[in-house]
Amino acid sequence: MLLAQSAVADIYRYVDAKGHTHFTDHPLKGNYKLKSVIRQPKSTASIEATKTFKKNRKRYSSMITAAAQDLNLRPELLHAVVLAESAYDPRAKSRAGAVGLMQLMPGTAQRYGVSKRGRWDPEQNLKAGARYLRDLLKEFKFDLSLALAAYNAGENAVKKYGNSIPPYPETQRYVRKVLSYYNQSLASSS
């Protein structure tokens, strides 16, 4: 019989200079305030998922760094996208049909020369997703928020709304999430 363990997490809140609120489980540089303490049972499944996440992050880290460097992107940015898209699970599949570490849609994969089967290959998936992100950055004049919105909702959605983040809650959450992961990664690497 397995017993559930208790997990305790401190949640810190930070409001940046632009008025954006960030939450994290560990304070970074800045004026973070302890917001709350969360206690909940930690199941055996969540313990196993955490181990798998850490193993996959380590396994694909050098591949992510190489893909980023090949395209003159920051590795922290690709890590943030991979974390938001698949949590480093190369077998992740969305309801919309996106697959792999960077959640490539069939049309995007085809556009970058990746076969249907190749979408599941971590290296091909990462390289194509990184190229797509780089192309979106160029298309939207290196506005990271717009490039991320386009990565999530498609470049036509961003254009439809006058080169702004579309009013889709999922896309708005996605952009905030990736930027938060990216900023946390940059802060911890400096």
Please state the pTM of the whole predicted model.
Answer: 0.76
Instruction: Report the side by side order of strands in the sheet with 21-24.
Output: 21-24, 5-15, 33-42
What 117-120 contacts at long range (C-beta under 8 Å, 24+ apart), as own/partner pairs, is 120/90, 120/91
Q: Are 103 and 89 in contact (CB under 8 A)?
A: no
The class (CATH top level) of 51-189 is mainly alpha
Domain ranges in the chain? Answer: 1-42, 51-189
Give the tokens for residue 91.
Answer: 């077998």
Catalytic annotation present for 85: yes
Q: State the catalytic residue, choosing from 85, 123, 139, 155.
A: 85
- Ordered per-residue pLDDT tens for the chain, 190 residues: 333 344 444 555 555 556 555 555 555 555 545 444 444 445 555 677 778 888 989 999 999 999 999 999 999 999 999 999 999 999 999 999 999 999 999 999 999 999 999 999 999 999 999 999 999 999 999 999 999 999 999 999 999 999 999 999 999 999 999 999 999 988 887 6
Torsion of CA 172, 158, 185, 82, to 10 degrees: 90
CA dist 37 and 185 (Å) reads 23
